[in-house]
Amino acid sequence: MTNGDDEVPTGADGATTRSGEKGGSAKKAKKSAKKKNKIPNDVYEAELFRLQTELVKLQTWVRTDGARIVVIFEGRDAAGKGGTIKRLTEYLSPRTARIAALPTPTEREKSEWYYQRFVAHLPAAGEIVVFDRSWYNRAGVERVMGYCTPKQYSEFMRQTPIFEQMLVEDGIQLRKYWFSVSDSEQLRRFRSRLSDPLRQWKLSTTDLDSIARWEDYSRAKDEMLVHTDIPASPWYIVESDIKKHARLNMISHFLSSIPYTDVPQPKIELPDRPAPSSGYVRPPRELSTYVPDHVAQLMGDKERHL
């Protein structure tokens, strides 16, 4: 299994470079090559539409068959997990496809069996649950940042394959994706968030600390794969230096891994609108409170220049 996100980037001349170092010509060449190899927008949009159409078919099959699916998203900070989850669930019903993005555990939850709060979010029949981060927090950020004890960590590594084997044997279809991003691309994305008021909230102290702890996270990921990449629930690595490629590759693989079928649906026809009733009178507008017309203010006075 490749560990592309842990490789040290090299310049065009083969010299090793690190994020932040000057490498003008190498960086330009790399940027140019990346742009050249990037999927055209029209091809991307067409394929994304096709895949999302298949996801709707999958959703119908899940409801009909009573299937239970769990999809785990893990990976580096700023690796593109959130954007992929958004495209994966964009046209699915929230009653069928739920996103579980659990916050920091409370003091009570810290005293529970570690997997307990995650078990509460597992799917019932006819449901898909997407874990935006999961029980693998213990193998990553908790391990690196010292939020768990060595004993808790070793127990996690020993128990997780058993826990997942139980889920699979009970009929849950479990898919685990690790989003791999290079250190230079991660740093570029962090920098872009600094000046973006819509995405600044994505930068936490833990995210920023991950820059200095790159190799620590690499070792933690490698050890996690050794213990938890098992036949019953293998890990799938998604290379995500190009976000659009990562989205298409992940969704395509996910669909190919589920044995769903096209469920015939009854043809839907809109009924004719009934004739107006002679007994209904709409109440005066003054009796209701309407939202102010903010758009009118933006458009200004249309008769001003007449």
Q: Spell out the per-residue pLDDT of the chain, length 306, in tens.
A: 444 454 444 333 333 444 444 555 666 656 655 666 999 999 999 999 999 999 999 999 999 999 999 999 999 999 999 999 999 999 999 999 999 999 999 999 999 999 999 999 999 999 999 999 999 999 999 999 999 999 999 999 999 999 999 999 999 999 999 999 999 999 999 999 988 898 888 888 877 788 889 999 999 999 999 999 999 999 999 999 999 999 999 999 999 999 999 999 899 999 998 888 778 888 999 999 999 999 988 988 776 665
User: Could you tell me which of 235, 129, 250 has the C-alpha nearest to residue 178?
Assistant: 235
* Distance of alpha carbon 74 from alpha carbon 66, whole angstroms: 26
pTM for the structure as a whole: 0.84
Q: Give whole-number Cα distances, 168 to 12, 67, 70, 231, in Å.
A: 45, 12, 10, 11
Model pLDDT, residue 102:
96
**Crossing angle, helix 41-65 and helix 81-89, to 10 degrees?**
60
pLDDT tens string 14-59: 334 444 445 556 666 566 556 669 999 999 999 999 999 999 999 9
DSSP state of 7: S
Task: Please give the domain boundaries of the chain with CATH numbers for all domains.
Answer: 32-257 (3.40.50.300)
| Ramachandran angles phi, psi of 20, nearest 5° | 100, -20
* Distance of alpha carbon 228 from alpha carbon 223, whole angstroms: 9
Amino acid sitting at position 258: I
What Rg, from alpha-carbon coordinates, does the chain have? 24
Model pLDDT, residue 276:
80
